[in-house]
Chain A
Amino acid sequence: MNRNMPSNVSSAAARVLASILLTGFLALAATAGTAAELRGFASLGLNGLILFQPCDGRKVSNRTLKVDDATPDTALTAGIDDVRRIMLESGRPLYVEFRGDVAGIVATARQFQRALGTVASCESVPSVIAAGTRFWAAGDEPSWRLVLTAGDAQLERPGQKPVRFPAAAFAAPVKTPTGRVVDAWSPQDGGSIRLELTEQMCSDGRSESAYGARVTLRYGSTTYEGCAARF
């Protein structure tokens, strides 16, 4: 501060500067948040407070947002708790992905997608879910994965030929009180699937991961259980 400047002028200038900075910060936060897809690191504060530092590309942003968990059955909070209970270095911030809105310094989580205890930095997020993926669910024993991109949906199982389904089948699911049901038939590869999705925290309790929806998939005579991270 200029020591020759009268104090009333300097304090007025400081208020203007602070106002500009605050406006800029809020505008930046709001701009970043309206992207709807939020990913970054969550830390737990007192009384259930969740603090969130978004990933800005490959780095963690300097901004810290307060998360209002408006997901069904507070799935985001449940997912964070579930992963933190078993993860290595359980005191460090936890990587999470969710859909939501940002207003000011508050991010309202609408849909929990996933929390990964094995991710330590923005650049080390596994690339199993490609950008633009519209639906992604997977499970183990037996291993399976169902991925929907702009093109079509594909059911993948190790050692077996992928089965393709038209994306249109996923466009108009039957809504249920807790989720949705999709029936699809594969004209190219034959066979049909029934996918039942329930929007609730889903975890196997052993992979240091939690997801936003539970999925049951029936294909032929086999039933596959798993979780969804995009839905």
Chain B
Amino acid sequence: MIDRRDFLKIASAVIPTWGLIPIASAQSPLYTGKFLFNVHASGGIDASSWFDPRETDATMNNYAAARTPAAVAGNIRVAPMGNNAAFLQRYFQNMLVLNGVNSETNSHDDGTRAHATGMLAMGYPNLSELFAYTQGKNVPLSWLNAGGFMTSAGLVPATPMPDGNSFRTLISPNAQSAQTDFIKQGDVAKMLAARAERVKAQQAAGNLVPRSQMVNAQFDAASSSRAMLARVNDFLPPTFDNAAHVALVAAQAGLMTTAQFASGGFDGHGQLANSYAQSLPRLTDLVDYIITKAGELGIANRLVVRIYSEFGRTPLNNGNGKDHWPVGCQVIMEGTPPAWGNRVFGASGPRHQQLKIDPATGAVDAVNGKVMTPRHVHAALRKYLGIQTSDPKFQLNIPASENFDIFNPNAKTGYPTM
């Protein structure tokens, strides 16, 4: 049997201590808003192997050399690699493609931080952290992290993603398996009731020393948190498919606001087409799973997915690979088609040179346009997600003239260089 002490051990390993303290009341509301899934395509995904294809210049891609055209659905194009075409066909109405985003770095570490926080400078909160802090700091698994940038800015610590078994143990410490309990649930209920009565009696006596009072308070908080976590029992599947499934069940139960994943294999310095034949399907399969499963769980209408990477890549090098290049692309999706879907905002040149964009319309404007960077994308995301912060430490300091209106359904760039 797992007792309170054991439960607290498990909880402290999976849930940060702060997660127990603020929810002293089991009446804390469950989270019912949008949830954000950040997916980091780790290694620096090549834009022209993704949603900024180049189909005629043989120095850019093997598929261009073979004269294979890009796949098209709606207003969006994608490189004919991996399962990209099927992914686009299925989700083009759900997605906004941001092309020509300048990471301002060729460094993996700096690019990871810039796209996670919006800033190259250190100390800014990850979008996941800011989202968890503003939307659900009182839920116990607010920011689940299965990869990517997880350095906290001090707002909310990330909770390492538990695997299915750990998650089940956390939710139901008495469960030996999906079907069997260690001891009869009725006996557990009696024992918990007896404990609660004892604590109540101790408190009523009014003669506890401060240390005992503190222990009782912690016990009460842990019990309340347990009660909250136990609500997940209503949604627990017999088995978990993967980490994304765990996150979605936590979201369904109202205990999570944001989850973060990394899908690697995009640092293709040599023979890029070969490595991307593995890594691209892995990425699209993950996102496809998240959206499909969210639909099955009835929560697709609350789902926002962002797919990003450290930077883009150069034309093909001597080894048929591609090196680091600051200008790249990212994708924002929702579980159900949003008004702002089926669009491309921003663009890069024929060899992914930087282009300047009119922030209001999305049109290429070499004279008065602005360079779109991660902080511009983050400013727009913060506004769209309702997570702007008034804390001066975390301001992105975007001038009004550089507010890229990326979620405006009428602002679009398309593919001007194709």
A118-B267, A126-B270, A204-B323 known; A138-B107 Cβ under 8 A: no
- A85 contacts the other chain (Cβ, under 8 Å)? yes
Binary per-residue interface labels of chain B (299-321) against chain A in the complex, 1 for a CB within 8 Å, 0 otherwise:
00000000000000011111100
Inter-chain contact B106/A86, CB cutoff 8 Å: yes
B residues near A141, Cβ cutoff 8 Å: 315
- B109 contacts the other chain (Cβ, under 8 Å)? yes
B residues near A207, Cβ cutoff 8 Å: 269, 317, 323-324
- B231 contacts the other chain (Cβ, under 8 Å)? no
Interface residues on chain B, number (Cβ under 8 Å): 19
Inter-chain contact B317/A88, CB cutoff 8 Å: no
Inter-chain contact A143/B317, CB cutoff 8 Å: yes
B residues near A140, Cβ cutoff 8 Å: 314-315, 317-318, 323
Inter-chain contact A208/B324, CB cutoff 8 Å: yes
How close is B120's CB to chain A, nearest CB, in angstroms? 13
Report which of B316, B318, B325 forms a contact with A138, defined as CB distance below 8 A.
B318
Inter-chain contact A118/B315, CB cutoff 8 Å: no
B residues near A87, Cβ cutoff 8 Å: 108
Inter-chain contact B318/A85, CB cutoff 8 Å: no
Q: Do most interface residues of chain B lie in helix, strand or loop, or is the interface mixed?
A: loop
Interface residues on chain A, number (Cβ under 8 Å): 19
A residues near B109, Cβ cutoff 8 Å: 90
- B173 contacts the other chain (Cβ, under 8 Å)? no
Would you list the 4 A-B pairs with minimal beta carbon distance, nearest first? A206-B324, A206-B323, A207-B323, A86-B107
13 A-B residue pairs with Cβ-Cβ distance under 8 Å, sorted by A, are A86-B106, A88-B42, A88-B43, A88-B267, A89-B108, A90-B108, A126-B319, A140-B314, A143-B317, A204-B323, A205-B106, A206-B325, A208-B324
Binary per-residue interface labels of chain B (82-121) against chain A in the complex, 1 for a CB within 8 Å, 0 otherwise:
0000000000000000000000011111000000000000
Residues of B within 8 A of A (CB): 42-43, 105-109, 267, 269-270, 314-319, 323-325
How close is B34's CB to chain A, nearest CB, in angstroms? 32
Provide the bound-state CA to CA distance between A118 and B108, in Å. 12
Binary per-residue interface labels of chain A (80-106) against chain B in the complex, 1 for a CB within 8 Å, 0 otherwise:
000001111110000000000000000
Residues of A within 8 A of B (CB): 85-90, 118, 126, 128, 138, 140-141, 143, 145, 204-208
How close is B311's CB to chain A, nearest CB, in angstroms? 9
Which residue of B has the minimal Cβ distance to A159?
Answer: B58
B residues near A89, Cβ cutoff 8 Å: 108
Inter-chain contact B318/A145, CB cutoff 8 Å: yes
Which residue of A has the minimal Cβ distance to B269?
Answer: A118
Q: Which of A87, A138, A140 has the most CB of B within 10 A?
A: A140
Provide the bound-state CA to CA distance between A143 and B59, in Å. 10
How close is B113's CB to chain A, nearest CB, in angstroms? 12
A138-B318, A140-B317, A206-B325 known; A118-B107 Cβ under 8 A: no
Inter-chain contact A128/B314, CB cutoff 8 Å: no
Provide the bound-state CA to CA distance between A140 and B416, in Å. 26
